[in-house]
Amino acid sequence: MGPNAGKTDGTTTFSRVAPEAGLLLGAGRAILMQLAHPQIGTAIAQHSDFASNPLSRLIHTLGYIYALSNGTAQQQRTMIDYVNKAHQDVRGTRNETAGTPAYSALDPRLQLWVAATLFDSARVIAEQILSDDLALDEGLYQHYSLLGDALQMPVDYWPATLHDFDLYLEKTLAKVRVTDQTRQLAEELFTAPEAPWWIRAGLPLMRDVTIAQLPAAVREAFGFELGEKVLRRNNRTIAVARFATRWLPRAIRHLPMKLMLRHVDRMNHS
């Protein structure tokens, strides 16, 4: 675990920003950016229950973020151990016939991309709904390195500055590749037939927001169209989220984090 992982006293920008419920609007964006990475997309398709339970990755990712940003030392350890165990057997060799690459979930380069998608999606949404100018906040950027550093990613894998990060992001986005299989997984994320009805009811809107917020390279790789209807629904949703983030009490805005940390506590006692 990185040297800053225990700083959960609410004094860092990371611990203040990460609990904001409005940032959940970037969750689908981050997941699709991960699916669009050839190795990560292949690993998810072949080793996870994404097809039958597409929201499980989101739930455990949120638990991990909230634990590292605002959790206790025990909650952090619970999530780190869970993720390490889940990644232990996720590996595969190159398949020339299928055209799939070799991969390992313990590869620090892949962990870097996962952490990068989480930071980039958080800052994209935060810039639209929060009053602070977080797009240029080096402190927030450096704290997001904890999401990879707490696993196997060496500290020096995280680009040194925001400028370096943007260069890395541009370079990696140029390599995205979406297969029929990962395209189907993306569609299942936004239908989630096994999810409760109240979650399924909001997924069409989440789909439109995700499409509007995706980097152009990823959106085009998945074959999504950025039509007027999608843009209108995204703009209205962002406007509502911006209003809610500025005027709702913090206890309501941070409720998803509190619920997820309770879930982490139950994981520790199960």
Tokens at 134, concatenated? 């977080």
pLDDT value of residue 2: 40
Q: Is the separation of the CB atoms in 44 and 32 below 8 Å?
A: no
pLDDT value of residue 198: 87
CA 224, CA 219: separation in Å to the nearest integer?
Answer: 5
Tokens at 149, concatenated? 């550093």
pLDDT value of residue 9: 45
Classified as helix, coil or strand, 181 is: helix
Tokens at 118, concatenated? 């989480």
Which of 129, 125, 121, 133 minimizes the C-alpha distance to 240?
Answer: 129
Binned average pLDDT, 10 residues per bin, the chain of 270 residues: 41 88 96 93 79 79 94 95 82 59 78 94 94 75 91 90 96 95 91 85 96 98 96 98 95 96 88
pLDDT value of residue 112: 93
CA 36, CA 68: separation in Å to the nearest integer?
Answer: 25
Name residue 254's amino acid: H
